Amino acid sequence: MTAAGDHDVILKLEDVSKVYSGTVAVKRANFEVRKGAVNVLVGENGAGKSTLMKIIAGVEQPTLGRILLEGEEVSFSSSGDAVNRGIGMVFQELNLFGNLSVAENIFATREITNRFRKIDSREQERRAAEFLERLQAGIRPDMLVEDLRIGQQQLVEIAKAVSLDARILIMDEPTSALSAAEVEILFKVIADLKARGVAIVYISHRLEELIRIGDYITVLRDGRITGQETMKNVDTQWIVRQMIGSDAKDFAKADGHVPGEEIFRAEDICLPRVTGGLAVDHVSLSLRAGEILGIYGLMGAGRSELFDCIMGRHGHATGAIFIAGKKVKERDTTRRIRRGLALIPEDRQRDGLVSILSVASNLTLASLSRFVRLFHIGGAKENQAVTQMVRELAIKVADPAQEVSSLSGGNQQKVVIGKALLTGPKVLLMDEPSRGIDVGAKADVFRTMRKLSRDGLGILFATSDLDEVMALSDRIAVMSNGKLTGMFDRAEATEAALVAASALGHGPVPRMESHAHD
């Protein structure tokens, strides 16, 4: 092991692999977690960080390999097992029950009961209030979780993990939805835990954060561990080199074509939130043919919701959209697709693919009417379109009749893109198109975006990756808390300006905002 330090190893993974249907998420990883230190884990989207952590937290079981806790081999069959052994986790996806109160969430599965096995709500709320006080979140323990802002929910999730009194605490991107002030508070809590000898595993994309609080760093790339060091021996460049390898990110160069006429315009799009307020707050934007408009924003900024409104997935959304100057009166998804809109959703498993159907059926699902004579699907015509799309997008599949779930993440994403393209769209909405796919597939996806824009499509693409939005967009829009808070030409956009704009929607003082729903 290259990493050496003064801290004892508490947990060790040996040769751990994890395979999902279609993807090898982690390949023979060796990983050490040290006591009383912040063990940082970095890697690009889809590098396997979250999977590795889920294995430690008992959420997933390794396909191969073993886990040693204080030198003793263990296997966790559930997260409950791991919690019993002192391992807690703050999940990236919020694992909270929206219909329960904050206190009930914090004490879920370890409810405090009185002598008659009745839940002692008052005691729970008192103890929950203590944890919340440490996070200075301004959250009352009796509030329903679904009424909280996403950043506050993240704080509840953190409070819940802290309340476990864990020896090992895993935090998977805990700051992704937090404001700067909230991040500072979190770091204080982390320092406090560290002093008490807790081993912290910290995952984040924000390098400056990692360098500030990390003691040890491990870098993952494509499911493999590519570097392990003590933090004081490394610098940003080392991290980046380990993360992306020798082949730097291939963003496909702009070809310098000039965008044409306006092809799409959204006016005053609003989407009310169930809990009050607006998830999409009076957003207007316009897009020209052949233009790539990047929409940057943090988790919960309302990017996906905006796309949903444009596609007609929310009947109660207001505002108007225009394609090539003509107002789109159709309100349902089916007819909007016919008008030339197509969405590549953020979560391809949930919204993009019918995983038990074949690659071919998935590709043509949205465009079947193109192959139909009377009511018969022309097999030859369909096959031809499928073959052509497989070739154009370089989808690696032996036989298009294979189930789509047997493909790797990147190829699955290409199938989703192919499905959208087969409808012959004029405007393509891409929500985090590079999420959870490998470097090679990413390059393919970016190249495809370039090619499509050259062919005159208008592309709106949402991402929370700064590099990506800077490299690919002709113009950059920034969203924050449902509002459009910035619009930059590529020439004038700087990372600092984008980051600043992405926090604007929450108002200057985060503490004030937290009472907005009271």
* Binding region for other proteins (CB under 8 A): 17, 19-21, 24, 27, 63-64, 223, 311, 313, 333-334, 337-338, 343, 345, 350-357, 361, 364-366, 368-369, 372, 375-377, 379, 406, 419, 423
Decide whether 126 or 338 has the Cβ nearer to other proteins: 338
Q: Shortest gap between Cβ of 369 and other proteins (angstroms)?
A: 7
User: Are 514 and 149 contacting, i.e. CB atoms less than 8 angstroms apart?
Assistant: yes
Q: Shortest gap between Cβ of 64 and other proteins (angstroms)?
A: 6
Decide whether 345 or 410 has the Cβ nearer to other proteins: 345
Of 67, 71, 43, the C-alpha closest to 54 is 67
Q: Shortest gap between Cβ of 70 and other proteins (angstroms)?
A: 27
User: What 8-state DSSP symbol labels residue 449?
Assistant: H
Give the C-alpha separation, 518 to 516, whole Å: 6
Q: Shortest gap between Cβ of 433 and other proteins (angstroms)?
A: 15
Of 453, 483, 424, 482, the C-alpha closest to 293 is 453
User: Are 333 and 313 contacting, i.e. CB atoms less than 8 angstroms apart?
Assistant: yes
CA distances from 198 to 14, 106, 121, 193 (A): 22, 19, 28, 6
Give the C-alpha separation, 294 to 471, whole Å: 10
Burial profile 133-149: b = 16 or more Cβ within 10 angstroms, e = fewer = ebbbbbbebebbbebbb
Q: Shortest gap between Cβ of 100 and other proteins (angstroms)?
A: 23
User: What 8-state DSSP symbol labels residue 404?
Assistant: G
Decide whether 335 or 454 has the Cβ nearer to other proteins: 335
Q: Shortest gap between Cβ of 6 and other proteins (angstroms)?
A: 36
Of 313, 335, 310, 336, the C-alpha closest to 321 is 310
Decide whether 188 or 338 has the Cβ nearer to other proteins: 338
Q: Shortest gap between Cβ of 85 and other proteins (angstroms)?
A: 25
Residues 6+ apart with CB under 8 A from 508: none
Decide whether 157 or 431 has the Cβ nearer to other proteins: 431
User: Considering just the CA atoms, what is the radius of gyration of the chain in Å?
Assistant: 24
Q: Shortest gap between Cβ of 427 and other proteins (angstroms)?
A: 15
Q: Shortest gap between Cβ of 366 and other proteins (angstroms)?
A: 4
User: Are 468 and 439 contacting, i.e. CB atoms less than 8 angstroms apart?
Assistant: no
Give the C-alpha separation, 82 to 441, whole Å: 34
Decide whether 364 or 473 has the Cβ nearer to other proteins: 364
For 438, the token pair is 């490998």
Decide whether 356 or 512 has the Cβ nearer to other proteins: 356
Give the C-alpha separation, 93 to 175, whole Å: 12
Decide whether 312 or 505 has the Cβ nearer to other proteins: 312
- Alpha-carbon torsion angle 57, 58, 61, 65, nearest 10: 60
User: Are 41 and 203 contacting, i.e. CB atoms less than 8 angstroms apart?
Assistant: yes
Helices (H) and strands (E) in the chain, counts: 17, 22
Decide whether 142 or 330 has the Cβ nearer to other proteins: 330
Q: Shortest gap between Cβ of 224 and other proteins (angstroms)?
A: 10
Q: Shortest gap between Cβ of 14 and other proteins (angstroms)?
A: 15
Helices 121-134 and 150-163 cross at an angle (nearest 10°) of 110
User: What 8-state DSSP symbol labels residue 189?
Assistant: H
Decide whether 63 or 136 has the Cβ nearer to other proteins: 63
Decide whether 265 or 370 has the Cβ nearer to other proteins: 370
CA distances from 192 to 159, 189, 197, 250 (A): 14, 5, 9, 41
